[in-house]
Each structure stands twice: as structure tokens, then as C-alpha cells.
Amino acid sequence: MLISILSWIWVSSGLLLILLVLLHSPKGDGMGGLAASGSSMFSSASSAEATLNKATWFSLSIFLGLAIILSAGWLK
């Protein structure tokens, strides 16, 4: 029972982690920056980006912690 609940939390945190990573703004121009001219539009991270970073790290720690706990077999 506990293993199935933790498994669902693990899957949910993995999906949330994917969503949070996709929400991040790109840090560089990528391949489009080779032909484009001009400076970067953003010079510092906003508070929304900082909050998104914290949520991403929190979700990552939950995901990795549960991955270790569930794969080690400590909850038999």
C-alpha cells in the first residue's frame, strides 16, 4: 500500500519536473543567435524565474529521493 502511494508520488513528481523544466526560459540564443544581431533582452533573472528554479529543484529532490527509496527495496 505504501509502495504504491510512493510510486504515484514519484510518477507525479517526474511529470511535474518535466513541466517545470519546459517552463524555463532559454538562457541563450541557440542556433538562431548565429545570424541575429543585437544584445540579450534579459539581463537578470526575475522573481518568477527564481521561484521556478526553487520549484524545479524541490521537484527534482523529491523525484530522486523517491527513486532511491523505491529502487533500494527498503519498504518491503
55 within a domain of the structure (yes/no): yes
Q: What is the pLDDT of residues 15-72, one digit of tens each?
A: 999 999 999 888 766 666 556 555 455 555 578 889 999 999 999 999 999 999 999 9
Reading phi first (left if > 0) and then psi (alpha if -120 to 50, else beta), residue 70 is in: alpha
pLDDT of residue 75: 87
39 within a domain of the structure (yes/no): no
41 within a domain of the structure (yes/no): no
Q: Where in the sequence is the domain holding 53, given as residue range(s)?
A: 1-21+47-76
